Amino acid sequence: MNDIDLIVRPQTAPRKRDADATRAAILDAAKAQFALLGYDCAVLRDIAGDAGVDVALVKRYFGGKEALFLEALKASFGTDGTKEWDRANFGHDTATMLAGSPHRNPDRTQRFQFLLRAATSPTTAPLLSQLVQERFLAPIRHWLGGTAADARARVFAAVYIGCLVERLVRGDALGGAERQAYIARVAGIFAALVADPPEAKETTA
């Protein structure tokens, strides 16, 4: 059956021994798998397999699954991109990304999928509260600025994540006209959140 593997694998040079590189490879594979499958469904053997090493190294380098998860989570949020977000086109850009292909910004997509999966797994959700505060909400809150920044940041995060989930469920790509309407709506929401004082504020009492 998988004789193919047994034959093909050795072709690739048998991998220079390099602790740092191996550690990094495991961490990368872990980030991808955890983002794709979540903590519970991700399998250490597969992560190690993707990294091209044996499972036992996960223990040696990270200590265990949970520790690996935490490190991957922190690494995923280490480089936070709010700094380079473009204030003017932000709403439209983000909405477009959320409406369509994740290929435009795979890094950002993977980070947020990681967050989403971590948030919705009952195993890992408890670990998130603090980290989300520090590395996710705080930067957004700071980037947004203005009045009621915390509430706006939370709504922002909610809409963002929600769109992600919606796209996750939606199998087919969004059609032309509907897609435009979708983007317009979401862009409008983001724009309103970025522009601090809602001019046409009409909250039902």
Q: Where on the chain is the footprint of DNA (CB under 7 A)?
A: 14-19, 21-22, 42-45, 53-60, 64-66
26 binds a copy of itself (CB under 8 A): no
Question: Which of 10, 84, 177, 197: binder of a copy of itself (CB under 8 A)?
Answer: 177
Question: Which of 54, 107, 178, 196: binder of a copy of itself (CB under 8 A)?
Answer: 178
Q: Of DNA, a copy of itself, none, which one does residue 73 interact with (CB within 5 to 8 Å by kind)?
A: none
For 192, other C-beta atoms within 10 Å of its C-beta total: 16
185 binds a copy of itself (CB under 8 A): yes
Give the closest residue to 140 by CA, choosing from 128, 165, 157, 163: 157
Return the number of the residue (38 or 91) whose C-beta is nearest DNA. 38
Q: Which residues, 6 or more positions from 6, have their beta carbon under 8 angstroms from its beta carbon?
A: none
The number of helices, as runs of H, and strands, as runs of E, in the chain is 11, 0
For residues 156 and 140, the answer to whether their CB atoms sit within 8 Å is yes
Please provide the size of the chain in residues. 205
CA atoms of 93 and 133, how far apart (whole Å): 24
Stretch 138-167 residues interacting with a copy of itself (CB under 8 A):
147-148, 150-152, 154-155, 157-163, 165-166
For residues 47 and 26, the answer to whether their CB atoms sit within 8 Å is yes
Amino acid at 3: D
Footprint of a copy of itself on this chain (CB under 8 A)? 36-38, 40-41, 88-89, 91-92, 116-117, 119-123, 125, 128-129, 132, 147-148, 150-152, 154-155, 157-163, 165-166, 168-171, 174, 177-179, 181-189, 191-193, 198, 200-205
